[in-house]
Amino acid sequence: PTMAHSKALLVLENFIGGKFVPSSSYIDSYNPSTGDVYCRVPDSGKEEVEAAVKAAKDAFPIWSSKSPLERSQILNKLADLIEHDLEAFAQAESKDQGKTITFARTVDIPRAVHNFRFFASSILHHVTECTEMPTMGCVHYTSRAPVGVAGLISPWNLPLYLLTWKIAPAIACGNTVVAKPSEMTSVTAWMMCKLLEKAGVPPGVVNVVFGTGAKAGEALVCHPDVPLISFTGSTLTAQRITEKSAPHCKRLSLELGGKNPAIIFDDADLSHCIPTTVRSSFANQGEICLCTSRIFVQRGIYSEFLKRFVAEAKKWKTGNPSDPTIDVGALISKEHLEKVRNYVKKAQAEGARVLCGEGVDLLSLPPGNQKGYFMLPTVIAEVKDESCCMQEEIFGPVTCVVAFDTEEEVIKRANGVKYGLAATVWSRDVGRVHRVAHRLQSGLVWTNCWLVRDLNLPFGGMKASGIGREGAKDSYEFFTEVKTITIKH
């Protein structure tokens, strides 16, 4: 092959009605660990969304009339096919997103596989309700049916993981879908499309339209034949989606940002708490909506905690994401890296202390990664609760540590942000753990652990962190329409 060939860019195509469709214009997609453009993503708009919605509408009667068991078998087949190509998917996700190959291999892709298996199973076990009214000679029962064409919009931080967390329940329930992944991380969704036919997913059941939020995303949100939108992304975008969809009275599921507290009482088991809190702060470069970014430590153990926490954070190696010994990969984009760095600068300007990472320690990168979007895990202390670093979602490898005195005080401070997604509480006192968990304004509370998930149970945020929940029962309810039927005998 010529040089031109060996340097050829990966070119993605939309997947509509079971066929790959070339696009007339494209967006450049970067490899975050090198800063090179390596892929071209279709810049779709109204026309492509229109074609995808039509394909999804056409496929709906057949797909929705299949039995849950038939759909379940197809979902399981798709899970097997993705699992068979796990390594290729993991390599692609790491290159496209900047995350470490280890994280993609052990978290992203296994979870995408599990999403399909989980909903393939759970769809077989739902029961509807029935009540009797003997005096009226009536029985009432509920019946659930798929809604139609579901619009699914996902972010860049856990690309295939979060997209399949929507596709799997949507199609398990009998809907057909038009999905729009983030324009920055579209490759693994495109790879999945290549497996759909072999898995037995009929043409038109899963359509993927690539492009920006403003063009492709908004066209989907505004399409009159898409009655429900499941969205994961930022609170700002969710507000826009809510406005745009309001004239159509669409059903919305919104999984949004967080500013998640970790509350560490003086009786906590620090040997578990410290490594877990480092992980909850910096896993996936801190680009997980559930990442810890405010750490409240009880005064008596504050200095010991800080010393040990910084020492542990410094153990995390930043560098080439394809090196399996690396813990922190590249951030998603140049702009995002700049934004995250600016938060650290603002904290410093306000008088906070940066204990390690950005601006303090030297980041040395291999020659091939000099232009990548890297940043060291950064710990900030002595930052005020009102500071933007303690109020706004940073979504990078930055965490703030502050001291507190009493239970009452820390609950108030932990709740003192607009978000309410996830919190962690560390204490050996079981009564306190329950008390604090009940009073935190947070959709998820983990005590003495982090990111341990049972997909059966509701997932989602309070306040500006979202509307609605996802999970076995919650996703089933979101992706189906319920009817109450009364029979008089």
User: Active-site positions?
Assistant: 255
Least distance between ligand NAD and beta carbon 287 (Å): 8
In what helix (H) or strand (E) does residue 161 lie, and over which residues does it extend?
Answer: helix 159-172
255 binds ligand NAD (CB under 6 A): yes
**94/237 with CB nearer ligand NAD:** 237
| Of 79, 208, 268, 289, the one binding ligand NAD by CB under 6 A | 289
The answer to whether residues 191 and 89 touch, using CB atoms and an 8 Å cutoff, is yes
Please name which of 243, 245, 244 lies closest in space to residue 228, comparing C-alpha atoms: 245
**348/391 with CB nearer ligand NAD:** 391
257 binds ligand NAD (CB under 6 A): yes
| Of 73, 76, 91, 212, the one binding ligand NAD by CB under 6 A | 212
| Of 156, 265, 316, 450, the one binding ligand NAD by CB under 6 A | 156
Least distance between ligand NAD and beta carbon 238 (Å): 7
Chain-centre distance of CA 371, in angstroms? 26
The pattern of x and - marking residues 395 through 414 that bind ligand NAD according to CB under 6 A reads: x-------------------
159 binds ligand NAD (CB under 6 A): no
Angle in degrees, CA 212, 289, 215, rounded to 5: 10
| Of 145, 214, 246, 485, the one binding ligand NAD by CB under 6 A | 214
Residues contacting residue 47 through CB under 8 Å, at least 6 positions apart: none
**289/295 with CB nearer ligand NAD:** 289
Closest-by-Cβ residue to ligand NAD is 213
Number of residues that bind ligand NAD (CB under 6 A): 31
What distances in angstroms separate CA 122 from CA 67, 71, 72, one per listed residue?
14, 12, 9
Least distance between ligand NAD and beta carbon 342 (Å): 16
| Of 258, 261, 396, 420, the one binding ligand NAD by CB under 6 A | 258
Among 133-141, 156-164, 190-198, 339-347, which window interacts with ligand NAD (CB under 6 A)?
Answer: 156-164
| Of 29, 232, 277, 475, the one binding ligand NAD by CB under 6 A | 232
Query: Could you give the 3-state DSSP secondary structure of residue 171?
Result: helix
* Binding residues for ligand NAD restricted to 428-467, rule: CB under 6 A: 461, 466
* Binding residues for ligand NAD restricted to 134-153, rule: CB under 6 A: 153
157 binds ligand NAD (CB under 6 A): yes
In what helix (H) or strand (E) does residue 222 lie, and over which residues does it extend?
Answer: helix 218-222
Least distance between ligand NAD and beta carbon 142 (Å): 28
Within 10 Å of residue 240's Cβ, how many Cβ atoms?
15
| Of 102, 237, 281, 475, the one binding ligand NAD by CB under 6 A | 237
Q: List b or e across 53-92, with b for residues whose CB sees 16 or more CB atoms inside 10 angstroms.
A: bbbbbebbeebbeeebeebbebbbbbbebbbebbeebbbb
33 binds ligand NAD (CB under 6 A): no
Least distance between ligand NAD and beta carbon 118 (Å): 16
**32/466 with CB nearer ligand NAD:** 466
| Of 16, 205, 256, 331, the one binding ligand NAD by CB under 6 A | 256
240 binds ligand NAD (CB under 6 A): yes
> How would DSSP label each residue in 110-154?
HHHHHHHHHHHHHTTS----EEEEGGGTEEEEEEEEE-SEEEEE-
Residues contacting residue 17 through CB under 8 Å, at least 6 positions apart: 51, 52, 54, 55, 58, 59, 203, 204, 207
Cα 118 to Cα 115: distance, rounded to the nearest angstrom: 5
What distances in angstroms separate CA 434 from CA 280, 297, 298, 397, one per listed residue?
21, 18, 18, 30
Least distance between ligand NAD and beta carbon 101 (Å): 20
183 binds ligand NAD (CB under 6 A): yes
Within 10 Å of residue 349's Cβ, how many Cβ atoms?
8
Least distance between ligand NAD and beta carbon 291 (Å): 9
Residues contacting residue 364 through CB under 8 Å, at least 6 positions apart: none
Cα 53 to Cα 220: distance, rounded to the nearest angstrom: 8
> How would DSSP label each residue in 60-75?
HHHHHTS-HHHHHHHH
The answer to whether residues 373 and 327 touch, using CB atoms and an 8 Å cutoff, is no
Least distance between ligand NAD and beta carbon 293 (Å): 10
The single residue listed with the structure tokens 């969304």 is 49
393 binds ligand NAD (CB under 6 A): yes
**175/260 with CB nearer ligand NAD:** 260
Among 54-62, 71-79, 251-259, 318-326, which window interacts with ligand NAD (CB under 6 A)?
Answer: 251-259
* Residues in touch with ligand NAD (CB under 6 A): 153-157, 162, 180, 182-183, 212-214, 217-218, 221, 232-234, 237, 240-241, 255-258, 289, 393, 395, 421, 461, 466
